[in-house]
Amino acid sequence: MIRFILRRTGSLFLLLVAVSFITFTLFQFGPADPASAACGQECTPERVQEARVALGMDQPFLVQYVEYMRGLFSSRMIGAPGAESLCQWPCLGKSFQTNENVSDIIARSLPYTFSMAIGALVLWTLSGVGLGLLAALRKGSATDKFIVGAASVGVSLPIPVTGLFLLLVFVNQFHLLPFTTNEINSPFGPQGPLAWVLNYLLPWIALAVLFSASYIRVTRTNMIETFGEDFIRTARAKGLAPRTVTFKHGVRAGITPVVTMLGMDIGLLLGGAVLTEQIFSVPGLGFTAVRAAVSGDLPVTMAITMLAAFFVIVANVVVDLAYAAIDPRVRLQ
Amino acid sequence: MTQLQSPAEPGTASAAPSRDRPAEARSLLATAWLRIRRSKIALLSLCVVVAIMLFAILAPVLSAMSGNDPFTSNTSPEVLDDFETPGLPLPGYMYPSASHWLGVEPGLGRDLFARLAFGGQVSLTIALLSTAVSVVLGTVLGAAAGYFGGKTDAVISRLMDLFLAFPHLLLVLSLTPILQSRLRDTPLGQGSFLPMASLVIILGFFGWAYLARIVRGQVLSLREREFVEAARSFGSSHLSILFRQIIPNVMGVVLVYATMLIPTNISAEAALSFLGVGVKDPTPSWGQMLNAAQAGNWYLSDPWFLAVPGAMLIVTVLAFNLLGDAVRDALDPKASRH
């Protein structure tokens, strides 16, 4: 087990380095001219040159990359020689727009993204696994067909349409819920947990509609497979209560693929729900990324993309390790 | 499609011989068609897909029939309110009528039907072309990884892992403006071509990894088959084996994943244009129309402006998804739902 952990962590480290390097290349070498993006509207050739030096772009590419990554481990000075400023650890550069430390911008956005992720996750896991299980138990019935049909429709609903529709109905027409406010980003804030739930309920629903569809499908397929296995028949033959057979024997064995999906989706969602945050004006990572992308604020988009990819990779490894802990066969291959 | 007839179609003829006539080799599309014909839902979704394609292709004809075009604005006080809610179409122009089949847009008073049809052209072109790019990349790279093995496989497989590690929408969102800054001075970057070209390139380039992984898996087992060995013993070159023996045999899986990639790319175009980094006004696309409905909160004044592009988008994505499911059930029974 220890060797397995070491091997996975080792490859995790390599993958993180590779992802950060690729992101850096895409964002530094991709744009026609990052320096003119940095110096903004009124740009003279001299000011572009100054910006190039200030961004360290006169340095060789690898030096730029190493310098950038060094910011993850210690504070560093950035800016043109003579006009340097301290970039506090963890340093991810400074915003072209506001000159603020990118890490501060990210730290400010994270609680909103967490709030979005947690609730949506609970909602779609409960509804997805619950409905999938129900469909599997009533395989072939009208209930099953309805649930499978609903899942097909759910996976085809684009978030902009569902999101705007929810806003229109619940906030604008019937005033059932408040419009999301920036003041609430944790259930432990002064407004209390109920205000937090009400504030994020609509974005949670918008995300859950889309995500739970694939959970319904996977749960249903796997549960049907599991219920067909010999050990379930044995359990039934022993005279165990149907409830015990379903939950203690069936669900436990058939739920593992859902756990994998869940791990990966958590990673994905922590990087920011771009569309949902935009529609409901929740200033999380996704919202910040859109604003930065539209205004050409490269350091911010680069850092958020890198962070989001890190979340996905780490989530993958955590899922693998959890699997290995549960199922020893995984470690061998 | 006759080249696609093959002695060893993995999992099609061999896995489901009971209900169709067995043994006889059938082309891929014929197999798919036979299965699709049996399911009402599949047949219906195929009809809807064809209808939507026709709607987009015939956009110039249809809008000429309605007597409008997607770009002429009409802000005269007879069309748009300039009193209570400035810019909102007046009752005669809000909903479907003989002169404007779906009413007019708020703000600029352009014909909604013409914009929906031409927007469909833009949205579908982007989705189909980017799918084609992903499919070519994914098939060739996946087949090469599986066939050559060794270092080629290691490099391509690590590349797939990397591409799959990035959150798709976020990456595409942040790279589109960057690519546009590159394309601006090239022939691809002229006028309304720029957003289309950039979306095709970006969506195509970041969508191949999943397909490549599937193709690689298939090729791993294919390359050990007798007909490949036979071709090798005749002295066929690697490239000839790859393109004439291996790739025709994975076309089934490729077709399945291509059908499933199209709705993903339609949604992605809609998402990006909605966020303001894809297709931009005055060029219409379904995502751009959603963006226009949200901008200035027009959809709150009247849900109609959200309903028109929204319904079109949902119906299209749903039809393609259902068709994709049907094609998968037909060609890849191992992956089918129970």
Residue B17 and residue B262 in contact, taking contact as beta carbons nearer than 8 Å: no
pLDDT above 70: percentage of residues in chain A: 92
B74 burial level (CB within 10 Å; 0-12, 13-18, 19+): middle
If you search the block for the tokens 């993903």, which residue do you land on?
Answer: B264
Contact check, Cβ <8 Å, A302/B174: yes
Nearest to A275 among B182, B271, B306 (CB): B271
Q: Tens digit of pLDDT for each residue in B22-52?
A: 445 567 778 778 878 888 888 999 999 999 9
pLDDT at residue number B117:
94
Q: Mean pLDDT throughout A44-49?
A: 75
The count of CB pairs under 8 A between chains A and B is 139
Q: Tens digit of pLDDT for each residue in A178-224?
A: 887 888 888 888 888 888 999 999 999 999 998 999 899 999 988 99
Residues of A in contact with B181 (CB under 8 A): 31-33, 37
- Of B4 and A145, the one with more pLDDT: A145
Nearest-neighbour CA in chain B from A82: distance (Å): 30
Quick one: which of A70, A41, A39 has its CA closest to A52?
Answer: A39
pLDDT at residue number A82:
65
Residues of B in contact with A294 (CB under 8 A): 177, 275-277
- Determine which of A69-83, A147-161, A203-217, B292-306 has the lowest per-residue pLDDT on average: A69-83
H helix and E strand count, chain A: 16, 2
Rounded Cα distance, A304 and A298, in Å: 10
CATH number at residue B243: 1.10.3720.10
> Residue B202: which domain range?
51-70+93-331
Q: Does the domain formed by A102-326 have CATH 1.10.3720.10?
A: yes
Contact check, Cβ <8 Å, B165/A159: no
Q: Tens digit of pLDDT for each residue in A90-121?
A: 888 888 888 888 999 999 999 999 999 999 99
Segments in chain B below pLDDT 70: 1-26, 332-338
Instruction: Tell me whether 0.90 is exceeded by the ipTM.
Output: no
Q: Tens digit of pLDDT for each residue in B51-76?
A: 999 999 999 999 888 888 888 888 78
Interface probe, candidates B166, B182, B317, chain A, greatest A C-beta count within 10 A:
B166
Rounded Cα distance, B125 and B112, in Å: 19
Residues of B in contact with A168 (CB under 8 A): 299-300, 303, 306
- Answer whether A274 touches B (CB < 8 Å): yes
Residue B325 and residue A152 in contact, taking contact as beta carbons nearer than 8 Å: yes
Q: State yes or no: pLDDT of A8 exceeds 90.
A: no
Q: Is A183 helix (H, G, I), strand (E, B) or coil?
A: coil
Q: Tens digit of pLDDT for each residue in B167-203?
A: 888 889 888 888 888 888 787 777 778 888 999 999 9
Number of domains chain B contains:
1
Q: Tens digit of pLDDT for each residue in A234-280?
A: 988 988 888 888 888 888 777 888 888 888 888 888 888 899 999 99
Q: Is residue B264 part of a domain?
A: yes
Nearest to B271 among A37, A160, A293 (CB): A160
pLDDT at residue number B7:
44
- Of A321 and B112, the one with more pLDDT: B112
Q: Is A86 helix (H, G, I), strand (E, B) or coil?
A: strand
- Answer whether A225 touches B (CB < 8 Å): yes
pLDDT at residue number B316:
96
Q: Is residue B283 part of a domain?
A: yes
pLDDT at residue number B132:
97
- Answer whether A161 touches B (CB < 8 Å): yes
Q: Is residue B2 part of a domain?
A: no
Q: Is A239 helix (H, G, I), strand (E, B) or coil?
A: coil
Q: Is residue B287 part of a domain?
A: yes
Quick one: which of A234, A225, A300, A298 has its CA closest to A34?
Answer: A298
pLDDT at residue number B75:
78
Contact check, Cβ <8 Å, B318/A153: yes
Contact check, Cβ <8 Å, B182/A27: no
pLDDT at residue number A81:
66
Structural domain spans, chain A = 33-91, 102-326
Q: Is residue B176 part of a domain?
A: yes
